[in-house]
Structure 1
Amino acid sequence: MAIQEGKVVIIGAGMVGSQTLSAVLREAVVNEIVLIDMNKEKAQGEVLDASHTTAFAYSSNVNIHTGDYSECKDAHIIVMSAGPSITKGNTMDRSLLLNKNIAVMHDVMTNITKYTKEAIIIVISNPLDALVYYGQHAFDYPRHKMIGTGTLLDTARLRKIIGETCGVDSKNVHGYVLGEHGESAFVTWSDVNIAGIPFEDLNTTFQTKLVKEEIYNEMRSVGFDILQLKGYTNVGVSAACARIIKCIVLNEKSVLPISNVPDGEYGLHDVALSLPCIVGSQGIERILEIPLTIAERACLERSTAKLKEENSKIEA
């Protein structure tokens, strides 16, 4: 069956899935959203609540409804947000969810692939990179169509911290967080800049006291801070997912740091992690091999090794 462009299926109606529904609606670029959850009443409630916003002048008239996996047969994009999440009182070690969510991913992918291998799948659930790798590898899913939100949110947090400190719009801060969406993520400090002004010159230009280690630690810890303050995290990652969806639907060909299984780029195979990717209507069109310093290359190798070790723990 032909893909219905602009049709999004969201699997999981929890805190993240329901927030993703709202975030995608705000982008006003899709024409149909289907919400699937084992708790059908919860899914129906979320759909009813969200559907009423389409009556406002600023909202597009999107067809929002619940459904089952058969809705995947002509989906353009499928969002995987099902499975348990880290909650208040836990550590931020996403790997603790590994085999619980691998089992969920197996069930989800089994059901999706009954109907399609044409849809672009965006994974939000954690441990994100392991789930992306498992979904692509175990089900032989097209590499360019299996995506994780990855370090897109980490990158947004980095840019927000730097922009706020320098007193500029964070959208004018450039640079990436790459590697694992987790403990071994790293910043490509060599290409961090504001309007072409390199990181090393920002303190002089903006009269600030930016310190790499302090920025990195804040970027890493802010998710845990949110978790402890409100009990869960959902707004930022849902916005990241909506950003990817917009990029796909509008064929933007934007460069986003998202998780994917490389096919030899950076010399990497058999692992999923975040690298700069050109994203368009078919998913990932190309992984860009940006220049890395020796130190950054070492960070990439450490992140790769950690993720491959995590993959080895997946119970078949």
Structure 2
Amino acid sequence: MRMKEGKLVLVGAGMVGSATLNAILAQSVVSEIVVIDANEDKALGEVLDALHTTSFAYSTNTTIRVGSYADCADASIIVMTAGPSIQAGDNDRRVLAEKNIAVMDAVMAEITRYTRSAVLIVVTNPVDLVTYFAQTKYNYPADKIFGTGTLLDTARMRQLIAAQCNVDSKNVHGYLLGEHGESAFIPWSMVNVAGIPVDELPRAFGLSAALDKEKILADTKAAGLRVLKLKGFTSSGIAQSVARLVRAIVLNERCVLPVSCVLQGEYDLEQVAMSVPCVIGANGRERVLEVTLLPEEQDQLAACCESLQKMLLQLGL
């Protein structure tokens, strides 16, 4: 079946799913959003709430409805948010991985009945493990499936640096790479503000001291748990991350974003999914960019790979 341009299927209508629905709707780039959830009443409630906003002048007349997996047949984008989220005080990622891999297994069995052509964005955590499982078990085209990975982590890092320099965070460039988790790292050789290398920021912006790189990394990693403890869940940041990816796909932006994808020899790594800079466009992950890393940064990327592969082995994947 021919894909319908602008049609998006959202799997999951929980806290993250509902926030993602509204974030995508606000982008005004899709013509149809179909929501799927095991709790059909919850899905319908979210659909109606979002649908009412289309009457306002600033909103496009997007069709929003509850649907089924059959709607994936002609969808151009599928967003997977279903599955339980980590809870405050619960640090057992293996238990969460086992639960959400089972959820992803059931969802992928349905999706692949109808399509292998849609771009599939995985949000469900642990996103690197879930993405690897979905791509490898179901042999989904590798360029068509990727996870949100360290995209939100990167946004958090940029905001922290921008606050210290008192500039718009969109002028901060650089990434968190590797695992969306504890082994993630910042390749500081790539970080700059409006082209000014990180070590020159004190001179350029009148800072009293150099950036505390270890603290910025620690604060970035802790940001999600801090939000979780304060409000009970995280939703806005990840929803905007998904909306950013959707916009890049629909408008064929070919922008460079860090997403979690299954590596096939890039950076001399394979049999793992983790975040590296990728070109995102209408066809999904158009290209993995093999940026030049310092030897110690390459070692950190390899350490992320080893950490994730160890978890995959424990999960029997």
Q: TM-score by structure 1 length? A: 0.98
1:166 partnered with 2:165: yes
Alignment partners' CA distance in 1, 2:108 and 2:314: 19
Aligned residues of 1:99 and 1:315 also touching (Cα < 8 A): no
How far off its partner does 1:313 sit? 2.2
The aligned counterpart of 1:75 is 75
Aligned residues of 1:94 and 1:182 also touching (Cα < 8 A): no
The aligned counterpart of 2:63 is 63
1:215-236 Cα deviation digits (max 9, x unpaired): 1111111111100000011110
The aligned counterpart of 1:46 is 46
Alignment partners' CA distance in 2, 1:54 and 1:199: 43
Amino acid at match of 2:292: P
- Aligned-pair RMSD on alpha carbons? 1.0
Alignment partners' CA distance in 2, 1:315 and 1:295: 30
1:140-180 Cα deviation digits (max 9, x unpaired): 00000011000000000000000011000000000110000
Alignment partners' CA distance in 2, 1:157 and 1:193: 15
CA change 1:234–1:195 in 2 (3 A) is same
For these two proteins, the number of residue pairs brought into alignment is 315
Matches within 5 A, 1:1-316: 1-91=1-91, 94-208=93-207, 209=209, 210-315=211-316
Aligned residues of 1:174 and 1:192 also touching (Cα < 8 A): yes
SS across alignment from 2:33: strand
Aligned residues of 1:95 and 1:126 also touching (Cα < 8 A): no
SS across alignment from 2:276: strand
SS across alignment from 1:103: helix
How far off its partner does 1:195 sit? 1.2
Give structure 2 stretches of 5+ with no counterpart. none
Aligned residues of 1:173 and 1:192 also touching (Cα < 8 A): yes
How far off its partner does 1:42 sit? 0.3
Aligned residues of 2:171 and 2:194 also touching (Cα < 8 A): yes
Aligned residues of 1:35 and 1:66 also touching (Cα < 8 A): yes
SS across alignment from 2:35: strand
SS across alignment from 1:131: helix
Give structure 1 stretches of 5+ with no counterpart. none
Amino acid at match of 2:35: L
SS across alignment from 1:236: helix
Aligned residues of 2:10 and 2:21 also touching (Cα < 8 A): yes
1:88-135 Cα deviation digits (max 9, x unpaired): 3323x5444111111001000000000000011100010100111000
How far off its partner does 1:184 sit? 0.5
1:256-309 Cα deviation digits (max 9, x unpaired): 000101221111211100000001000011000101011101100100001111
Aligned residues of 2:34 and 2:71 also touching (Cα < 8 A): yes
Alignment partners' CA distance in 1, 2:284 and 2:314: 28
Alignment partners' CA distance in 1, 2:108 and 2:178: 24
Alignment partners' CA distance in 1, 2:13 and 2:198: 41
Alignment partners' CA distance in 1, 2:61 and 2:101: 36
Alignment partners' CA distance in 2, 1:134 and 1:21: 25
Alignment partners' CA distance in 2, 1:216 and 1:183: 10
Aligned residues of 2:11 and 2:82 also touching (Cα < 8 A): yes
Amino acid at match of 1:50: A
Alignment partners' CA distance in 2, 1:265 and 1:89: 36
Q: TM-score by structure 2 length? A: 0.98
Amino acid at match of 1:32: E
